[in-house]
Structures are given as C-alpha cells and as structure tokens.
Amino acid sequence: MKKKRIIGFVVIVLMLILAACGEQSESGESAEDILKESQEVMQELESYAVEMDMNQHIDMGEESAEGMVVHAESFMEITLDPMSFKQESIMDLSEVEGLAGTETDETKMRYLSYFHEEEGMFMEDPEIGNWMKFPESYSNEMFTMSGMQMNPEEQLQFLEQYVTDLSLEEDDEYYHITLMTEEIHMDELMEDLQGLNTDVPRLEEGIESSFGMMELKELDYSITISKDSYYQTEGRMNMVMAVDAMGQAITSEEETHIVMSQFNEIDAVSIPQDVLDNAEEMDDFNEVPGI
C-alpha cells in the first residue's frame, strides 16, 4: 500500500508545483515559465538516478501512545524506454515501538528491488533474502501513474486553487522554487484529474480506493532546477497526511529529501537471471513484507 501511495504522491506533487505562478526571476522568467520548461526537458530524459532520504512519524491514535518512527534511504537507477529500475533500500526501524533498544543489525533492513516493464516487479525479502515477484496488477498501476502526463495549461486551471503560497529564489546556478498547499482531499483531486479531457488513464479499483481514504493536511515542497539544463536536481518535501483505516485515524508526518543526478547516463537495467528463476510469485500485496 505504501509503495502505491509514494508513486501517486510524486505525480501529484509535480502537478501542484506546475500550478504555482506569479513571481519572476532576475531574467524576467516567472516560476510558471521555469517549471514548464523544466517539465518539457524532464519528459525527454532517457534515464536518471534518484537518491532519497525520508523520515516518517506515524501516529496510530489510541492504538499506540508512542507512535512509530521510520527512517528510510534509497538509491534508484531508472530508464524510461523501456521503463525499468534498480533500487537499493535501507529501512531503519530502531525507533519503532517494541523494537527500541534492539541491536542495529536487527532493526536495519537492506534489500534490492528490480522492475522491468516486460518482466514485472521483484523485491528481495529483507528478512531471509529470498526474492518475491509482485502481482501483475502492481505493474499495471505503475504504468497508470507514470502515464499521468497532462498539458500544463490544464493543470493550472484546476490545481492553482490548492497552492496558497509560492516563492522563487535563485543563485548563479539554480532556481529554487518553494510552495505550500492547503488541505487536499485526495479522492476529490483524483476525481478532478479523471474529469479532464486528457490522457490520464482510469485508476484501478485498488489504488482508487486507497486515495479515497487519504487526506493531505499539509504539503510544503521545494524544488531546485539547474539554470543551464532545466533539470530538476533536488527536492525537499514536508507532508502531513491523515488516513482513515477501518475506522482508525492514522496521521503520518514525512520529511523527504530527493537528489536527482546522472541524467541520460544510466545503462539499461536488466534483472539478474537468478532473480527471474527463483522469485516466488505473490498473489496479493498482503503477502509482501512491509506492504
């Protein structure tokens, strides 16, 4: 479930950024102009690398007095045609309730993941090292979310209502754009997306229902764009999200730092043959550890 939410939020955050406009750079370009130019350049990329550092605090409401703190790091190499990636991940659970004080080796999970549009999604079990193949529906949902590309003009028409504050700063090498949003009901936003006359595909029932349970209470996002290339090189996101899970109110606060690099320098990602031969196929997401 969490992996599906991450994919969706990346798309939505980028669209919210494109809804921001008004301030201008020293050269006279507005934030809107800079972001549109950057979007066009990023859409032409063939490959890139993403490094992510994320801290998350989850308040489980009455079910837990202490809540849960998770720290995660990942490095991903991505190609876009064909769509594929290799991801190295570390998840630190040393501050999770019930695990505090446990030896570091027991609370740090390290694992690899692979995806290829023709082969599917594979993840290493962080506990025993075996490989798992995700259900075919997961690959379909990845393509659904990656296909959410819309005309920037159409994005501005309805997403500008969510942006409450925008700032544009610059130095010799980069533009720095920061935005803040008001409270967003995810199911209403997704309904707006589906109502546009665009190439946004219809979401499958599973991911559509997961959006319906979420409410984005707060989102502050900053993005760094190279003046020379218009590549998006860095992003920082602070997000507060509320989820109603079977009547239980859960609040999640996340701080995420993303660095993008190696633009058009990544070789084609191939899944090792031993992974393809030995991976155990999962029937649903509930069988996958951590999902």
Instruction: Report pLDDT digits (tens) over 224-258.
Output: 999 999 999 999 988 888 887 777 788 989 999 99
Angle between helices 31-43 and 152-159 (to 10 degrees): 130
Q: What is the maximal distance between C-alpha atoms in the chain?
A: 57
Domain boundaries, the chain: 2-287
Cβ(149)–Cβ(5) below 8 Å: no
SS3 131: strand
CATH of domain 2-287: 2.50.20.20
Instruction: Determine whether 131 is exposed, middle or buried from the number of CB atoms within 10 Å of its CB (0-12, 13-18, 19+).
Output: buried
Model confidence pLDDT, tens digit, residues 53-103 = 999 998 877 666 667 888 999 999 999 888 899 999 999 877 665 555 555
